[in-house]
């Protein structure tokens, strides 16, 4: 049996691993995630881990202006979440045979390199069964904190090429270390640092050339949803209501939800079950995705000079919807108030409880569009769907924003899309009117469901309203 004590991880091994990661299919099409990883790794290799802060990453990697506020701009946090998921994907598939694993533990955002230690008996077995040995003292792992980013425009061709150059230097340094002595390694490091600094310089100056501060610009969507005069109401879903519908094997409408008439449908033949169901119905459950959405919208509201009033779906009455702008989280299954707006929507949700299929129905398909997008928990592709709808609220002469999904990952996909200006602003620019006004719209998003989280999302279809 081999010695189970892991050898220290050299800088060369770390560089080679990062080079393979950024060259993989999970990172090739994501310049920002690659730059994020390259940036924090190089700082740590130089012994400058104390410079890895949320603010500095936002400035260097995402081109944020000097006076941006990490507390209200969460792009670094959202990209860090995606970075964790992409790393999981890499090591689960393409990098499953890697001798070293790189992870980013939640909370401290410190990337951690862990060598895999295998017994002789386990050679050739599933790499996921191999033991992971902790990094020994003196093996300082790459450190990472998250930083917020500002709604900067997409990086220029020069910026992207600089990032690619940085990645190439990672890969090139692998060969130089094998063939050259200490002097050659030093020159390779100088070349990499030059490329990395070029990335930071170009991104920083690109942003300053075309953008001043976030507060100088009126956001085309949030300026309509948030104001200092009135708080925007956000209504989170009633998860207990979903359990009721699952128990009764039927969908329940808003009228029955308001009257609580559906609770009388419990079978009388089972008193114990009646008691348990009644107890469940009285509890006030909502999903973690709903709460994360509240957190995201709270930051957005603050940056837009507004405020948020969170309400539970069960506590709402029709007159509450007359107070102003509203955000609804969840489909009609968990948030029945969505039903009030579905008659004006082209993309609506339907759950077939017999076949256990959740679908986004396309009421009026255009050329090349399907009539529906189906989701099943048994789908081997793990494909889920989300809808973001920005609609008029006619009873209050205001607006309503709806986030829905065929699963929690679908709702999360909608939240990520609407809260990330890197995704949202190009779409708004595409649909805006000649006078600069952003029309009301609906958009269908497709995403992969990896461990309950949304990754690799894309726009599948959209509609605008006159």
Question: Which pLDDT value is given to residue 118?
Answer: 56
Residue of 365, 315, 360, 322 lying closest to 342 (CA atoms): 360
CA-nearest of 389, 283, 407 to 343 is 389
The rounded distance, in Å, linking the Cα atoms of 33 and 466 is 37
Whose tokens are 């170009």? That residue is 202
CA distance 3 to 11: 22
pLDDT in the model for residue 73: 74
Here the tokens at position 109 are 């955002």
Q: What is the pLDDT of residue 267?
A: 63
Cβ-Cβ contacts under 8 Å for 105 (sequence gap 6 or more): 112
pLDDT at 448: 76
What does the pLDDT profile of the chain (466 residues) look like in tens digits? Answer: 444 455 678 888 888 998 899 888 888 777 888 888 888 888 877 777 778 788 888 888 888 888 877 776 777 777 888 888 888 888 888 888 899 888 776 666 667 778 876 554 444 444 444 444 444 333 333 333 333 334 443 333 333 444 444 544 444 444 444 444 444 444 454 455 545 444 444 444 443 333 333 434 579 999 999 988 889 999 999 998 888 888 778 889 999 899 877 777 666 666 777 777 777 767 888 998 899 899 999 989 988 889 999 999 999 999 999 889 999 999 999 999 999 999 999 999 999 988 889 999 999 999 999 999 999 877 776 789 999 999 999 887 899 999 999 988 889 889 989 988 888 999 999 999 988 889 999 999 998 766 555 566 789 999 999 8
**Hey, what are 318's tokens?**
């029709």
Please identify which residue in the block is written with the tokens 């779409």.
427
Q: What is the pLDDT of residue 149?
A: 38
Query: Domains in the chain, ordered, with CATH?
Result: 11-216 (no CATH), 222-238+286-464 (3.30.379.10)
Nearest CA to 70 among 174, 157, 145, 168?
A: 145
Q: Smallest Cα–Cα separation from 390: which of 344, 430, 334? A: 344
What CA–CA distance (Å, rounded) separates 448 from 405? 12
pLDDT at 108: 60
For residue 388, give both structure tokens: 């973001």
DSSP structure string for 363-416:
SSPPTT--SEEEE-TT-TT-EEEEEEEEEEETTTTEEEEEEEESSHHHHHHHHH
Closest of 417, 418, 411 to residue 449, by C-alpha: 411
Length of the chain: 466
Q: What is the DSSP string of 37-56?
A: HHHHHHHHHTT-GGG--HHH
184: Cα separation from own chain's centroid: 41
């Amino acid at each position: 049996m081999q010695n189970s004590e892991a050898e220290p991880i050299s800088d060369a091994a770390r560089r080679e691993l990062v080079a393979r990661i950024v060259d993989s299919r999970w990172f090739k099409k994501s310049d920002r995630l690659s730059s994020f990883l390259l940036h924090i790794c190089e700082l740590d290799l130089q012994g400058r881990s104390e410079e890895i802060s949320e603010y500095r990453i936002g400035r260097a990697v995402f081109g944020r202006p000097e006076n941006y506020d990490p507390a209200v701009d969460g792009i670094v946090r959202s990209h860090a979440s995606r970075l964790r998921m992409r790393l999981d994907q890499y090591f689960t598939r393409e990098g499953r045979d890697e001798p070293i694993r790189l992870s980013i533990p939640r909370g401290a955002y410190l990337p951690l390199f862990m060598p895999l230690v295998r017994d002789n008996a386990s050679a050739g077995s599933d790499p996921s069964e191999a033991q992971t040995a902790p990094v020994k003292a003196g093996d300082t792992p790459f450190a990472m904190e998250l930083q917020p980013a500002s709604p900067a425009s997409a990086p220029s061709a020069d910026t992207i090429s600089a990032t690619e150059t940085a990645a190439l230097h990672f890969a090139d340094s692998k060969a130089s270390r094998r063939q050259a002595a200490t002097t050659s390694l030093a020159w390779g490091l100088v070349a990499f640092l030059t490329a990395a600094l070029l990335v930071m310089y170009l991104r920083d100056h690109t942003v300053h050339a075309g953008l001043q501060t976030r507060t100088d610009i009126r956001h085309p969507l949030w300026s309509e949803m948030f104001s200092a005069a009135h708080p925007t109401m956000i209504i989170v879903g009633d998860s207990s209501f979903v359990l009721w519908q699952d128990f009764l094997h039927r969908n329940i409408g808003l009228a029955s939800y308001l009257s609580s008439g559906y609770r009388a449908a419990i079978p009388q033949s089972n008193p114990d079950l009646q008691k348990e169901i009644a107890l469940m119905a009285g509890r006030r459950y909502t999903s973690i995705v709903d709460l994360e959405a509240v957190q995201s919208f709270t930051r957005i509201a603050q940056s837009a000079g507004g405020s948020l009033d969170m309400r539970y779906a069960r506590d709402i009455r029709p007159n509450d919807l007359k107070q102003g702008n509203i955000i609804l989280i969840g489909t009609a299954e968990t948030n029945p108030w969505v039903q009030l707006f579905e008659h004006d929507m082209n993309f609506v949700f339907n759950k077939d409880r017999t076949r256990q299929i959740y679908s986004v129905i396309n009421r009026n398909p255009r050329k090349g569009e399907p009539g529906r997008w189906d989701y099943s928990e048994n789908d081997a592709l793990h494909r889920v769907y989300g809808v973001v709808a920005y609609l008029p609220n006619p009873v209050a002469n205001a607006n309503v924003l709806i986030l829905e999904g065929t699963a929690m990952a679908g709702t999360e996909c909608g939240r990520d899309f609407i809260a990330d200006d890197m995704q949202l602003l190009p779409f708004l620019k595409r649909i805006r009117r000649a006078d600069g006004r952003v029309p009301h719209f609906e958009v269908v998003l497709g995403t992969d469901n990896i461990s309950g989280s949304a990754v690799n999302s894309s726009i599948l279809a959209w509609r605008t309203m006159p």
